[in-house]
A = this chain, B = another copy of it.
Amino acid sequence: MGGATVKNLHSSLERFSSGDRRALARIITLVENRSPEVPHLMGALYPKCGRARVLGVTGPPGAGKSTLTDKLIGLLRKQGRRVAVIAVDPSSPFSGGAILGDRVRMQEHFLDQGVFIRSLATRGRHGGLARATREIVHLFDAFGFDDVVVETVGVGQTELDIMRLAQTTVVVLVPEAGDTIQVMKAGLLEIADIFAVNKADRDGARRLKNELEVMLQLRPDADWQVPVLLTQATDGSGVTELLDAVCAHEELREKQPVPDEGEARLQEWYEILRDELSLRLDRALDGETLAPTAEQLRRGETDPYSAALETLANPAALVRMLGAPGEDDP
């Protein structure tokens, strides 16, 4: 790292550690932009992580996840807990929509310094989304939030990966969201610690609850009986019971043997290595390092396989391609 960058990092970290919300927001933007500073920042903040409770809220679009999250925030604030929310919607190419959503939701908690809501703009970079979400969870955790809510639209593998970050996962469904077979196909049955059947005043809510309960008998889970709760996010009914269920699940987890933190660190390290290599390769392809090889390929003087092997077999070329950016700066 260059000297100027290191100084900037230190200053950002100091402001972050003194509780400066703008410093937090700026570091989140660095994570979103996959800036080269991010691993350095995360390494520095890592020792402060591991205290926050991470709650996942997922379900199909229009199930009322955001309204439900808003009501949960209200209850948690009454308990004096500081709450951060990260909303991830990989299926939406419109970060504009997400930002508008933030603004609307922010109104209620706008002046509350104990609440921080942020949408993760995805811009089609599927691969790094789970990593970016985890890094933002780490940031909220290190910043001192007691609860971090990760909200996703639950439909694909990316969302399931993201939900593994949560200690407790609430799956929100509505009667018209389709049958329970869809729930199974989407893998939601496996990840749910709690089901919330929202918009419970509508037709079919009780039937959906019954179907889910029947289906849950297929899932053997000795310690925890997955509850299926009826909620109405708009008027807040059922939300207290939902939070009680979250706390009960959390208490159970605390009684269980501590998960292997060493293995979790190894897994995270592995994902960072993979993602960093892919990121550095992208940068190298955009830059000058590989331009001579690209030119040879364009002219047909070599083939893709021989060109790749040549670069990978040449230690100097490998380091030029993948070494840390700015590594040689004074």
Residues of chain A at the chain B interface (Cβ within 8 Å): 39-40, 42-43, 46-47, 261-263, 265-266, 268-270, 272-274, 276-278, 280-281, 285, 293-294, 297-300, 303-309, 311-313, 315, 318-319, 322-324, 327
> How many Å lie between the Cα of A278 and that of B42 in the bound state?
23
- With a cutoff of 8 Å between Cβ atoms, the chain B residues found around residue A299 in the complex are 262
Q: Are A276 and B312 in contact (CB under 8 A)?
A: yes
Q: A46: nearest residue on chain B (CB-CB)?
A: B303
Most B CB contacts (10 A, CB to CB) among A273, A278, A293, A309 go to: A273
- CB<8 Å pairs between A and B, sample of 11: A40-B305, A43-B309, A262-B297, A265-B303, A268-B304, A270-B285, A273-B311, A273-B312, A280-B312, A312-B324, A319-B319
- With a cutoff of 8 Å between Cβ atoms, the chain B residues found around residue A318 in the complex are 318-319, 322-323
Give which listed residue, B276, B278, B297, B313, contacts A266 with CB less than 8 A. B297
Q: A38: nearest residue on chain B (CB-CB)?
A: B305
Q: Are A274 and B278 in contact (CB under 8 A)?
A: yes
> How many Å lie between the Cα of A56 and that of B172 in the bound state?
40
Q: A299: nearest residue on chain B (CB-CB)?
A: B262
**Copies of the polypeptide in the assembly:** 2
Q: A156: nearest residue on chain B (CB-CB)?
A: B156
Give which listed residue, B42, B308, B315, contacts A323 with CB less than 8 A. B315
- With a cutoff of 8 Å between Cβ atoms, the chain B residues found around residue A261 in the complex are 300
- With a cutoff of 8 Å between Cβ atoms, the chain B residues found around residue A297 in the complex are 262, 265-266, 269
- With a cutoff of 8 Å between Cβ atoms, the chain B residues found around residue A324 in the complex are 309, 312-313
Give which listed residue, B42, B43, B306, B311, contacts A43 with CB less than 8 A. B306
Q: Are A305 and B272 in contact (CB under 8 A)?
A: yes
Give which listed residue, B42, B277, B304, contacts A269 with CB less than 8 A. B304
> Known: A266-B298, A273-B281. Is A39-B315 also a contact (CB below 8 A)?
no
- With a cutoff of 8 Å between Cβ atoms, the chain B residues found around residue A323 in the complex are 312-313, 315, 318
Min Cβ gap A278→B in Å is 6
Min Cβ gap A219→B in Å is 20
Min Cβ gap A162→B in Å is 17
Q: Are A308 and B265 in contact (CB under 8 A)?
A: no
